[in-house]
């Protein structure tokens, strides 16, 4: 079947599933359509690091699983380069893991494989998920499909760009401080970070172990729900994993807005305008809008950039060229370590490892790391109190639309400020979702802007329901 017969731009998981069940096209024909699109567009976007050579074989096998009740059978998705697929190369976009092959499936991957998902390939990211632009990849920047002079966001920039350019029906990413939601905002797609522990981290390369969550990038909230339902659940391989109980609420959810958090410098006027329009839309849909206070949320970014590098320093200590990955020979074992880590890790990874080692060092542990954890608890308590008054909290996803490639590379603090609205959800462990909320024209290009919704731990169903209504997916 020719690519033009399948309208990839309009396709969703729901629509593709219905078409596969009807026999409008086969799983192999659908996969081929995506392969054609990738071949045409990836050279300009650099979303994919590798397209798997057995995609059509996977699709042919998945065809036998296509049934009305199997929503994901034959659905082609892209996988971030830090999630293990047995027998496939995986490297977190870092030279230190050049050539490494995964010895087992991540739990999330196993569940999707059992459901009949077709894995198209592995997509680009900031090295070890450290960054907000995918400029820190050892394999080149991923560009925004809406304007190739701009970044796709990060660290899951390849995942967001793949879906946005119609090079995948959906994608998996990981979210440590906004790494699914921010690129989704930049690329005009839906980015979903569920409750911490709701999806097993087994087989996800660790960055910040108390923060990391596997998330999804899709075209609709309904598709996010389908993928989440397939992957969620407690896992014996991950002691932090949990089951999410079903919570039914009959009342109309109340929307909370932390107004004082939206008045800082550096927020683009177009973002504020889009956010205000989103609030009007919510009010028009019958939701009560209530102003709330989150007194300690202003410290979130500072707390995050102490706790996260500390966990990075610990997690990345295993990459020494001895157990796996690339190795540089020195005159002795110590020099092997030093040369391997110096050449294998990129600039941002080295910066965060050194910062994390510093805050954990003798004499500074209490002053920085322990204090950051104490403030993290204050932030958590603020959210607990807020969710006694409201059901969903709404903020912008990012303080600006996508910025130009290279614009913030020399200013790490400016780059870190892009995370200001997204990191609180990771510190608190709550689910959060970015959905498209308009666009702004800059230099003749329409750049997407996202709005972020969050809810209390385990309230995925409520969160997804509100955003489905907001986007008009359900009435």
Query: From CA 157, how far away is CA 155, in angstroms rounded?
Result: 5
DSSP one-letter string for 384-449: HHHTTT-SEEEEESSSSSPPBTTSSTT-HHHHHGGGTTTHHHHHHT--EEEEEEEEEEETTEEEEE
- Which residues neighbour 377 within 8 Å (Cβ) at sequence distance 6 or greater? none
Asked whether the bond before 155 is cis by omega within 30 degrees of 0, the reply is: yes
Strand ranges across the sheet with 76-80: 48-51, 118-123, 76-80, 170-175, 213-218, 190-193, 432-442, 445-455, 392-396, 254-257, 288-291
Q: Give the C-alpha separation, 186 to 199, whole Å.
A: 25
DSSP label at residue 192: E
- DSSP SS3 for 283: helix
- Are the CB atoms for 198 and 161 separated by under 8 Å? no
CA distance 455 to 392: 5
**Tokens linked to 336:** 């092997």
Catalytic positions: 80, 155, 179
Which residues of 60-165 form beta strands (DSSP E)? 76-80, 118-123, 143-144, 147-151
């Amino acid at each position: 079947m020719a690519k033009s017969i399948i309208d990839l731009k309009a396709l969703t998981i729901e629509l593709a599933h219905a078409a596969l069940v009807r026999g409008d096209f086969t799983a192999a024909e659908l996969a081929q359509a995506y392969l054609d699109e990738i071949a045409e567009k990836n050279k300009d976007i650099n979303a994919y690091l590798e397209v798997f050579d057995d995609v059509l074989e996977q699709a042919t096998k998945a065809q036998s699983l296509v049934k009305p009740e199997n929503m994901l059978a034959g659905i082609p998705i892209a996988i971030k380069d830090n999630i293990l697929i047995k027998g496939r190369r995986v490297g977190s976009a870092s030279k230190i893991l050049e050539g490494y092959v995964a010895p087992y499936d991540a739990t999330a991957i196993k569940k999707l494989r059992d459901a009949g998902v077709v894995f198209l390939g592995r997509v680009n990211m900031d090295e070890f998920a450290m960054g907000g632009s995918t400029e820190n990849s050892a394999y080149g920047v991923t560009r925004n499909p809406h304007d190739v002079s701009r970044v796709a966001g990060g660290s899951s920039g390849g995942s967001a760009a793949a879906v946005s350019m119609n090079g995948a029906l959906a994608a998996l990413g990981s979210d440590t401080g906004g790494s699914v939601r921010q690129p989704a905002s930049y690329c005009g797609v839906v980015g979903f970070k569920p409750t911490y522990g709701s999806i097993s981290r087994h087989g996800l390369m660790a960055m910040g172990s108390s923060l990391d969550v596997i998330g999804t990038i899709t075209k609709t909230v309904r598709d996010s729900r389908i993928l989440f339902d397939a992957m969620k659940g407690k896992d014996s391989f991950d002691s932090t994993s949990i089951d999410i109980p079903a919570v039914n609420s009959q009342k109309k959810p109340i929307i909370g807005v932390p107004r004082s958090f939206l008045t800082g410098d550096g927020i683009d006027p177009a973002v504020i305008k889009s956010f205000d329009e989103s609030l009007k839309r919510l009010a028009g849909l019958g939701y009560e809008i209530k102003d709330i206070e989150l007194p300690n949320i202003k410290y979130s970014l500072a707390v995050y950039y102490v706790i996260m590098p500390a966990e990075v320093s610990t997690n990345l200590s295993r990459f020494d060229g001895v157990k796996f990955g690339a190795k540089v020979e020195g005159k002795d074992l110590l020099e092997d370590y030093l040369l391997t880590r110096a050449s294998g890790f990129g600039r941002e990874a080295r910066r965060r490892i050194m910062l994390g080692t510093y805050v954990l060092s003798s004499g500074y542990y209490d002053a920085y790391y322990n204090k950051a954890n104490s403030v993290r608890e204050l932030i958590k308590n603020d959210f607990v109190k807020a969710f006694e008054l409201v059901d969903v909290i709404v903020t912008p996803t990012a303080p600006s639309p996508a910025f130009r490639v290279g614009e913030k590379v020399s200013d790490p603090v400016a780059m870190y400020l892009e995370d200001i609205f997204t990191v609180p959800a990771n510190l608190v462990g709550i689910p959060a979702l970015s959905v498209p909320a308009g666009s702004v024209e800059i230099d003749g290009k329409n750049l997407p802007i996202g709005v972020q919704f969050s809810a209390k731990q385990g309230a995925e169903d409520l969160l997804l329901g509100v955003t489905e209504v907001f986007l008009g997916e359900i009435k």
